[in-house]
Amino acid sequence: MSLTFHWFLPTNGDSRHVVGGGHGTAVTASGRDRPPTLAAQMAATFQRRTGGRLLLNVVTGGESHEQRAYGDFLDKDARYRRTGEFLEIVRGLREGKTVDLAGEHLRVEDAALARVPDPVPEVYFGGSSPLAGEIAARHVGVYLTWGEPPAQVAEKIAWIRSLAAEQGRTLRFGVRQHVITRDTAGQAWTEAKRLLDGFDPQTVRSVQAGLARSESEGQRRMLALHGGSRERLEIHPNLWAGIGLVRGGAGTALVGSHDEVAERIKEHHAFGVEEFVLSGYPHLEEAYWFGEGVLPRLATQGLRRHPFATEPAPPAQVPFAS
């Protein structure tokens, strides 16, 4: 089975150091004000204009104080229930149905699309709370998790897979994390140290204090990986939690030689991860390191096929030993 790789677009600016998480400048239509029928219409139009390249990541809204700034005063659980209603409406529309729904938070009558998107865009979704799991199992195609030690990722996948089975559904699974890959492990860890040395202690304390107030279960799990300390940041072979000291959201990075990073990806694939949403600092340079160093190794092992390739990847070349 071929793995799928996506690269994160830094809409709030690129840098040779870690740029804080956030929505920044909207490049595509995203944000907190997307009614379901309008969102479905925009998705259908986007699909036509891009030749079917649209994928949708649905985010419930992590923090109540952020939502209130946009006039949204629902608490976290209510926001997840609203997300479920949103996805139920959108799913019906993209299947060509006329949708009537009178929910707890959303209501539509005679909602329909003039043109159904073709292909139907895949919906991605993440969340570590029980209610998030229920929403994922019922409505989405790909469940995303932030990078954690493999045993924790495997446990989360087993949980979501079980919930989806109860709904008679099968999901795919993906991981969102950063990557620092170089020709040698020493070079990769030197780069990780360069980033760490650029973390101002006061900034780390301020960011950690803010993140500690987060309502997000996923963010709580990220914080638990490092505890705000610069010590013992390699929490699993080639898995570094340093990014989470100064950035909310995805806080871990795969760090190592191209062979080591490929092995860690294969480790995740063994228990069900099929998609990876990756990024680095700077994003463009790291994309080249990953694309030229790691992807060819996975391709020769039959784990990655170029999305526009017409022929299978060539078999691995085995050196002749006399």
State the pLDDT at residue 312: 54
Reported as type and span, the H/E element at residue 288 is helix 283-293
Would you state the pLDDT for residue 310?
A: 55
- Quote the radius of gyration of the chain (alpha carbons, Å): 21
Extended strands (E) in the chain: 4-7, 55-58, 99-102, 107-111, 122-126, 142-146, 172-182, 234-236, 239-240, 253-257, 273-279
In eight-state DSSP terms, residue 248 is: S
pTM for this entry: 0.89
- Between strands 142-146 and 122-126, the pairing is parallel
What is the per-residue pLDDT across 66-115, written as a single tens digit (0 to 9) for each? 889 989 999 999 999 999 999 999 999 999 999 999 999 999 999 999 99
Residue 26: what pLDDT?
A: 45
Instruction: Find out whether 248 and 21 touch, Cβ atoms under 8 Å.
Output: yes
Positions in the chain whose pLDDT score sits under 50: 22-26, 29, 316-322
Domain limits, the chain: 4-21+29-300
Q: What is the pLDDT of residue 21?
A: 52
Q: Which residues of 282-292 are buried (b: 16+ CB within 10 A; e: fewer)?
A: ebeebbebbee
> What's the burial of 196, exposed, middle or buried (CB within 10 Å: 0-12/13-18/19+)?
middle
CATH of segment(s) 4-21+29-300: 3.20.20.30
Residue 59: left if φ>0, alpha if ψ -120 to 50, beta else—which one?
beta
In tens, the pLDDT along 168-188 reads 999 999 999 999 999 999 999
Q: Which of 21, 24, 61, 83 is nearest to 215 (CA)?
A: 61
Strands (E), 150-294: 172-182, 234-236, 239-240, 253-257, 273-279
Sign of the torsion formed by the C-alpha atoms of 262, 219, 247 and 196? negative
244, 226 contact by CB (below 8 A) = yes
d(CA 24, CA 5): 23
Helix (H, G, I), strand (E, B) or coil at 54: coil
